[in-house]
Amino acid sequence: MVEDFERCYRAVQSKDARFDGWFFTCVTSTGIYCRPSCPAMTPRQANVRFSPTAAAAQHAGFRACMRCRPDASPGSPAWNGRADAAARAVHLIADGVVDRDGVAGLASRLGYSQRQLQRLLVAEVGTGPLALARAQRAQTARLLIETTDLRLADVAFAAGFASVRQFNETVQAVFAVTPSALRRRAGRAGPPVSGGSGTLSLRLARREPFAGDALLAFLGQRAVPGIESFAEGVYRRSLRLNHGDGVVALTIDQSFVQAALRLDDLRDLTTAVSRCRRLLDLDADPVAIDEVLAHDPLLAPLVRATPGQRVAGAVDGPELAVRAIIGQQVSVAGARTVAAGLVAAIGGVLANPVPGVTRTFPTPAALVDSDPTVFSMPNARRDAVVRLARALGEGALVIDAGADPVELRAGLVALRGIGPWTADYIAMRALGDPDAFMPTDLGIRRALGRLGRPDDAASITALAERWRPWRAYAVAHLWNTHRKMENAA
């Protein structure tokens, strides 16, 4: 989009928040970069350059506007509709891979050399993997500086910096103030939140419209006791992260999502936030999606009733895949009961539990090594779970933000006991594939039947062609419709 200067400049002139995260406005006369919706006076065209990412703007020497906070804008939805190597690299960097494994680890994960990866990202994103990771660390540091009373040295290492000196230099370069000055500036609006209980309260940016109630209802209906709960509008769940465990409580507010995080290790903050954003599909472009789906007379009333519908993602790919197999040919309630039994028998125990959330989902290793009696399901389905867990443990399958959807689908259906419905469901939720579709899904068939449409797989597949490339969002609308009809019955 940054190649269309006139379109970008018109968005800046109109202060259009829909473009926040799509691109960033770099002002050469001030050395500052902003969101398109920044309330400051619109700069002259001659003084404007556009950048595809905050990282690219920072790499070019621009510092973040302290008024519109461009580093905290929603992520670009451009990556949600792509599954190429650049998109997968961006997702893995957001998940903290560079901080954990370095650029070499990221390149190896994608099957590229470091030089190839650098060239690819510079061409697609405007900068390399180190600059993208640096921008992410800077945003995490700002969150911790402004919302906690942690010592600044602890903030530095929690945000992923290798040294306090690197932390100080990066904050100064990105925000044009020292970390201590940034904390004092935040203190003018109120004291830092100590989170004495170990809780960090963060606001997750989103795009409007946002059908948050429908999204949390979907997650709540499938909440597995022990690892999830949903009550009084608050969805809670455990997180298994790289340096420890955590618990998040998510609440829909008027213009953002409130996330209250309790982490065993603050180094996992960046990863936890990234996974929560993917769980709630916060970086989607609802206006573009609704515009396509509303052209279909069948879906148009559903889009009007629930604008900004999101597709629920996942915080843990292997967990989602195991639960998808458990859910084959059983009701949502039945799958939830079976999963709860596994959690109680072989799930991990949280060091810092909260009421209703006391465990983590069993690891692939725990599933492989467990006594067969803990599986309250038919033997064929149990064997499919164990085969999947073994493939995950051996590295033959990888289910995370960096997986290729085509390769993953092929690997999944090659395992006995896993069919196309399961593979597409995993691609839709664990990978965020926006065009994933399951024509044999019972909820889809029942919703279409009640809407007066044929409910056989061939007819549904043909009908869904006009919903591309957003078929997963059409599925979310149909599931939401089916849920409402079931509740009304």
Which residues are known to be catalytic? 34, 441
What is the distance between the alpha carbons of residues 146 and 431, in angstroms, rounded to a whole number? 32
Task: State the Cα–Cα distance between residues 182 and 418, nearest whole angstrom.
Answer: 52
Buried b (16+ CB within 10 A) or exposed e, 428-467: bbbbbbbbbbbbebebbbbbbeebeeebeeeebeebbeeb
Distance CA 159, CA 169 (A): 14
DSSP string, 235-271: EEEEEE-SSSEEEEEEEE-SSSEEEEEEES-GGGHHH
Cα separation of 317 and 442, whole Å?
Answer: 23
- Phi and psi at residue 60, in whole multiples of 5°? -80, 0
| Contact present, 313 and 300 (Cβ < 8 Å) | no
CB 61 within 8 A of CB 30: no
Q: Report which of 70, 58, 64, 67 is spatially closest to residue 23, judged by C-alpha positions.
A: 70
Measured CA to CA, the distance from residue 445 to residue 439 in angstroms comes to: 8
Helices (H), 222-348: 269-279, 286-293, 300-305, 317-326, 332-346
The structure tokens listed for 278 are 């993917």
- C-alpha distances in angstroms, 424 versus 82, 175, 412, 421, 472? 16, 43, 10, 5, 10
- What are the backbone angles phi and psi of residue 39, rounded to the nearest 5°? -75, -5
- Name the burial class of residue 427, with classes exposed (0-12), middle (13-18) and buried (19+) by CB atoms within 10 angstroms of its CB: buried
Let me know: does 303 contact 290? Beta carbons within 8 Å. Answer: yes
Buried b (16+ CB within 10 A) or exposed e, 233-267: ebbbbbbbbeebbbbbbbbbeeebbebbbbbbebb
* Helix or strand run (H / E) with residue 422: helix 420-430
Picking from 392, 406, 432, 430, the residue whose alpha carbon sits closest to that of residue 384 is 392
